[in-house]
C-alpha cells in the first residue's frame, strides 16, 4: 500500500476540509471524512481526477456560454443551446436556491466544488482528465455553477432546448417563422430487479441494477464509496458531477432506478388574440406573454466574439416551443410546463435514501420529499422485502381534466397525434387544465400517496414500460394516464425481464431450487437471451428451409444457408454467437409497432390477460421470408458472412483497439442486456459515428459500434454477514484516455467477468493495488 500525504491550499475555502481517499483496483474511490463538507471535498477531488473535463463542459452549457467558446455550431446548435439554457434560467434558480439549502446540503455543494477546484489548481488545465486539455473553458467553478448544473439534470425541459430556442411569433400573415422540430426522443432506459426472501437462497433481499445510459458525455455514471463513521456508509454511483449516491446500497437497503414511462411535462395550446400573436386567452380574458431579451456571445471565425440578441417568449405555463405540426401561427401557439421546474429537494431525497436504515426508511424518504425527477425506484432490503414505485414527478391533473383529456384523445386529431409522439397536449385557454396543488408535496405534482407502487416477497421489476406490469402475475391499475398506460402491450425487453424472474422451473435461471444465488442472478442479467428469437426463430428457420429461395425485386435469394444458421443458433447474443447478426438484420426490418401486435410479425395478438405471453407465433404472411432475404443481401453487400460471430462486428471503441462486446437491442431483439449506438446532444465530447450500411437499421461500415446501453451493472445479495455485490462499470471509471482505468472494465464487460465490490474494511485493506491519499485544505 502506498500513502501520499497532500496539503492543498484554497484561497477562498470557507472552512478546513479533511478527507481520506483510498483507491482500490479499477480506480474505485473509497472516501472517508468526519463531516459532509469534507466528505464531498474528497468526492469532488476524486471525481475531477476522472472526469473534470466533462463537468467543465456541462457548466459552460448550463451557463449558456457554448457559443462563446465554440462558435454558433452546426445548424446554429450552440446558439440554440445557449438561448434555451439562458431562458430556462438555471443559474438564476441556483442563485435563489443556494441560501435556502439546509446547512448539510450547502456543505455538500460547497465541499464538492472546493474539491473539484483544488484538483484543477493542483494539476492545471493542461493536465485535466478527458478531452478538455488546456482549453480556456476549463476553469474553476462556483457552488452556484454546480447547483445550476444539477438542477438542469433534474429538469426535463433541457431536452427541448432547440424547440424553445426556435419558437418565435409569426411576423405577418398566418405563416410561422420556422418549421417545427420533432419532439426529441429520450434514449436512456434501464432494467431493475428486486428480489424478496421467497426467491433468494439467503432468504434475504437481492437486487440487479442495469441502467441503459450513454457511454459518452455527462450522463455517464461514476462509482464511489462514501463513509462518515457512525453516520453514513453507502456504495454506488451517481451521474457525473452530482454528489452522493443515486443508485447503490448500504447495510440495510439497496435500490436502483429506471426511466419512468410517465409524463414529466405537458404541452398547452394557446388560442391567440387576433392581430396579437403574443397575447392569448385564458378563462375568457386576454393575457400577454412575457419576453426575455437575451444577449448571446458568439465566437466568430476570426476568434472575435459578437453579441447577438434573441427574444424568448413564455406563457404563465412556461416557455413557448416550436413543434412540428404545432408551429406558432397567428391563431395558435404551444407552451410547455415541466413538473421538475421547481424540484429543489432532490439532494435531500437521495441523501435520505443513502442514510436509510430499512425499507420503511427508504419509503419515507420518497413520501417526505417526493422529489424523484424522472425515474422509477426498485428496491430491496436485508430483511427480504422487494418494492417497486413510480414516484417520478408527474403533473397533477383533476379528475375533470383527465376525463376531458381522454375524450379529446378520441375526438381531436392533433391531441391524438401529440400523444402518439409521447406528449400530452392540453387546452391552455382554461384553468380546468391547471395542475392541482396538494399540501403534502410541492405545487403541481402528484403526491406520494397517489403514486403506483407494489411490495412483494418474491420479486418486482421494471424495464421502462409503465407501472402496470411490475410483476408477471400482479398488475397495478387505477392511475392517471400521465403516469403511464394500463392494459397495453409490453416491450419484448419487459417480457424477457418477466420471463427470467418468474421462471421457477429446474431449467430456469435460478436453478433447481428456483431461488437465486448471487452468481445465478449475475448470470441471468447478462444471459443475452433474445425473446424475439425464442418466440420466432424456429418458425422462421423452418419456413426458410421449406421455401428454399425468395425473390426480392427480381433477384432470387437463396435462404437455405440462413435457415441452417438460424436452426442451429441458441437465440443468444454472446460474442461467440453465430446467428445473432443474421437475426438482427432480419428482425430490425420490421416496424417497432410490429413487435407489440398481431400483423406483419406476430399471428396472435396482445391479450391484456396474458401480457408476458402475447403477442406470439409467426404471422402467416410472406413478410418473414422477404425480410430474411433482405437480411441476407445486406450482409452480402457488407461483405459479411452469414455465420459471422457477433463479437467480430459488435465492439466498443477504446485504446488501443476495439473491444468485442455482447448484448443487443431491447426493442426488436428483446434482450435485457441492451447495447447499441446513438447520438448524444448533451455533450460536445467527440465520438466517431460510422456511416450506415444501406438497407440496415444498425449495421455500419465498421460493424456495430457501441456507445450506449448497459452501464453500471450490479448484482447484490444480503447475507447474514452483510451485503455482498458484484459489479461492472461497462465504460470504465475514468474518462481520461491516458488512464489505466479508461477501458479496464470494458474489457471485463466484453468477457462477462464481474468484479467483487469492496465494501468492508477487510476487503478494502486486502486490495494489493490500494492507494491512499489524505487531503487537508487549510486557510491561507
Contact predicate 612/498, CB 8 Å = yes
C-alpha cell at 327: 408551429
Overall residue count recorded for the chain in this entry: 780
Residue 190 annotated to the active site: yes
Q: Which of 101, 92, 32 is nearest to 64 (CA)?
A: 92
Distance, CA of 525 to CA of 509 (rounded, Å): 10
* Residue 329 grid cell: 401561427
Beta pairing partners, 529: 572
Measured CA distances, 233 to 109, 112, 222, 318, 516 (Å): 19, 18, 17, 40, 26
Q: Is the dihedral of CA 688, 692, 696, 699 positive or negative?
A: negative
Contact 522, 726 (CB under 8 A): yes
Q: Which three cell numbers stand for residue 709?
A: 446501453
For the beta carbon of residue 641, count every other beta carbon within 10 angstroms: 14
Using DSSP bridges, classify how beta strands 17-24 and 276-282 pair: parallel, antiparallel or unpaired.
unpaired
Helix ranges (DSSP H) in 10-65: 36-63
35: cell is: 463531516
11: DSSP letter = T
Cα dist. 719→709, 766, 767 in Å? 30, 20, 22
Of 698, 654, 655, the closest CA to residue 674 belongs to 698
Place of cell 434514449: 187
54: Cα within 13 Å, side-chain hemisphere: 25
Q: Which of 152, 166, 190, 711 is catalytic?
A: 190
Place of cell 436509510: 356
Give the pairing type, strands 28-33 and 221-228.
parallel
The dihedral built from the CA positions of residue 255, 260, 262 and 267, taken in this order, carries a sign that is positive
What does DSSP say about strands 675-676 and 708-710: parallel, antiparallel, or unpaired? antiparallel
Q: Which of 246, 333, 327 is nearest to 288 (CA)?
A: 333
Supply 445's cell numbers.
Answer: 405534482
Q: What is the dihedral of CA 391, 397, 401, 407, to 10 degrees?
A: -20
Catalytic residues: 190
Amino acid at each position: 500500500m502506498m500513502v501520499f500525504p497532500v496539503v492543498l491550499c484554497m484561497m477562498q475555502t470557507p472552512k478546513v476540509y479533511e478527507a481520506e481517499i483510498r483507491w482500490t483496483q479499477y480506480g474505485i474511490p473509497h472516501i472517508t471524512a468526519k463531516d459532509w463538507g469534507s466528505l464531498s471535498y474528497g468526492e469532488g477531488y476524486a471525481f475531477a481526477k476522472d472526469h473534470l473535463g466533462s463537468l467543465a463542459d456541462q457548466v459552460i452549457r448550463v451557463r449558456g456560454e457554448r457559443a462563446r467558446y465554440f462558435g454558433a455550431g452546426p445548424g446554429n446548435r450552440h446558439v440554440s443551446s445557449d438561448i434555451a439554457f439562458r431562458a430556462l434560467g438555471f443559474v438564476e434558480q441556483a442563485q435563489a436556491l443556494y441560501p435556502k439549502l439546509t446547512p448539510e446540503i450547502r456543505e455538500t455543494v460547497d465541499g464538492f466544488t472546493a474539491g473539484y477546484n483544488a484538483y484543477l489548481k493542483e494539476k492545471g488545465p493542461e493536465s485535466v482528465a478527458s478531452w478538455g486539455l488546456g482549453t480556456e473553458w476549463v476553469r474553476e467553478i462556483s457552488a452556484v455553477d454546480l447547483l445550476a448544473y444539477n438542477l438542469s439534470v433534474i429538469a426535463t425541459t433541457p431536452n427541448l432546448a432547440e424547440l424553445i430556442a426556435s419558437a418565435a411569433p409569426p411576423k405577418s400573415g398566418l405563416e410561422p417563422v420556422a418549421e417545427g422540430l420533432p419532439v426529441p426522443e429520450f434514449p436512456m432506459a434501464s432494467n431493475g430487479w428486486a428480489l424478496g426472501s421467497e426467491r433468494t437462497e439467503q432468504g434475504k433481499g437481492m437486487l440487479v441494477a442495469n441502467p441503459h445510459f450513454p457511454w459518452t458525455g455527462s450522463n455517464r455514471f461514476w462509482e464511489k464509496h462514501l463513509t462518515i463513521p457512525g453516520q453514513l456508509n453507502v456504495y454506488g454511483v451517481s451521474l457525473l458531477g452530482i454528489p452522493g449516491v443515486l443508485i447503490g446500497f448500504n447495510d440495510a437497503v439497496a435500490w436502483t432506478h429506471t426511466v419512468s414511462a410517465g409524463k414529466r411535462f405537458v404541452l398547452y395550446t394557446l388560442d391567440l388574440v387576433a392581430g396579437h400573436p403574443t397575447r392569448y386567452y385564458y378563462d375568457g380574458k386576454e393575457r400577454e406573454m412575457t419576453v426575455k431579451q437575451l444577449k448571446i456571445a458568439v465566437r466568430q471565425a476570426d476568434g472575435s466574439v459578437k453579441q447577438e440578441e434573441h427574444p424568448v417568449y413564455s406563457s404563465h405555463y412556461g416557455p413557448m416551443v416550436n413543434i412540428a405540426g404545432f408551429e406558432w401561427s397567428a391563431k395558435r401557439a404551444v407552451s410547455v410546463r415541466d413538473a421538475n421546474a421547481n424540484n429543489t429537494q432532490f439532494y435531500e431525497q437521495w441523501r435520505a435514501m443513502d442514510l436509510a436504515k430499512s425499507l420503511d426508511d427508504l419509503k419515507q424518504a420518497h413520501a417526505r420529499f417526493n422529489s424523484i425527477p424522472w425515474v422509477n425506484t426498485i428496491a430491496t432490503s436485508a430483511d427480504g422485502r422487494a418494492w417497486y414505485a413510480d414516484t417520478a414527478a408527474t403533473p397533477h391533473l383533476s379528475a375533470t381534466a383527465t376525463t376531458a383529456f381522454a375524450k379529446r384523445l378520441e375526438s381531436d386529431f392533433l391531441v391524438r397525434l401529440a400523444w402518439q409522439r409521447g406528449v400530452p397536449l392540453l387546452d391552455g385557454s382554461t384553468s380546468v387544465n391547471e395542475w392541482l396543488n396538494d399540501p403534502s408535496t410541492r405545487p403541481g405534482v402528484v403526491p406520494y400517496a397517489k403514486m403506483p407502487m407494489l411490495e412483494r416477497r418474491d420479486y418486482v421489476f421494471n424495464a421502462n414500460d409503465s407501472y402496470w406490469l411490475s410483476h408477471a402475475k400482479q398488475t397495478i391499475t387505477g392511475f392517471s394516464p400521465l403516469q403511464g398506460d394500463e392494459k397495453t402491450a409490453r416491450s419484448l425487453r419487459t417480457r424477457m425481464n418477466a420471463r427470467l424472474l418468474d421462471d421457477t422451473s429446474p431449467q430456469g435461471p435460478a436453478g433447481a431450487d428456483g431461488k437465486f444465488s448471487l452468481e445465478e442472478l449475475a448470470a441471468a442479467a447478462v444471459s443475452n437471451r433474445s425473446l424475439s428469437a425464442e418466440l420466432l426463430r424456429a418458425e422462421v428457420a423452418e419456413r426458410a428451409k421449406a421455401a428454399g429461395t425468395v425473390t426480392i425485386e427480381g433477384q432470387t435469394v437463396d435462404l437455405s444457408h440462413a435457415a441452417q444458421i438460424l436452426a442451429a443458433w441458441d437465440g443468444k447474443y454472446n460474442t461467440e454467437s453465430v446467428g445473432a447478426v443474421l437475426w438482427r438484420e432480419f428482425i430490425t426490418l420490421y416496424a417497432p409497432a410490429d413487435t407489440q401486435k398481431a400483423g406483419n410479425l406476430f399471428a396472435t395478438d396482445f391479450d391484456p390477460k396474458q401480457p408476458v405471453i402475447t403477442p406470439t407465433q409467426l404471422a402467416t404472411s410472406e413478410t418473414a421470408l422477404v425480410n430474411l432475404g433482405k437480411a441476407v443481401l445486406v450482409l452480402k453487400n457488407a461483405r459479411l458472412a452469414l455465420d459471422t460471430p457477433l463479437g467480430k462486428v459488435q465492439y466498443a471503441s477504446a485504446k488501443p483497439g476495439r473491444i468485442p462486446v455482447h448484448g443487443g437491442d431491447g426493442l426488436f431483439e428483446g434482450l435485457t442486456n441492451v447495447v447499441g449506438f446513438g447520438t448524444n446532444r448533451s455533450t460536445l465530447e467527440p465520438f466517431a459515428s460510422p456511416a450506415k450500411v444501406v438497407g440496415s437499421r444498425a449495421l455500419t461500415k465498421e460493424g456495430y459500434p457501441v456507445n450506449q446501453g448497459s452501464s453500471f451493472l450490479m448484482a447484490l445479495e444480503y447475507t447474514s454477514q452483510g451485503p455482498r455485490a458484484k459489479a461492472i462499470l461497462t465504460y470504465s471509471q475514468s474518462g481520461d484516455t491516458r488512464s489505466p482505468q479508461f477501458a479496464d472494465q470494458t474489457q471485463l464487460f466484453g468477457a462477462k467477468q464481474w468484479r467483487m465490490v469492496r465494501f468492508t474494511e477487510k476487503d478494502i485493506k486486502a486490495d494489493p493495488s490500494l492507494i491512499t491519499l489524505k487531503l487537508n485544505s487549510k486557510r491561507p
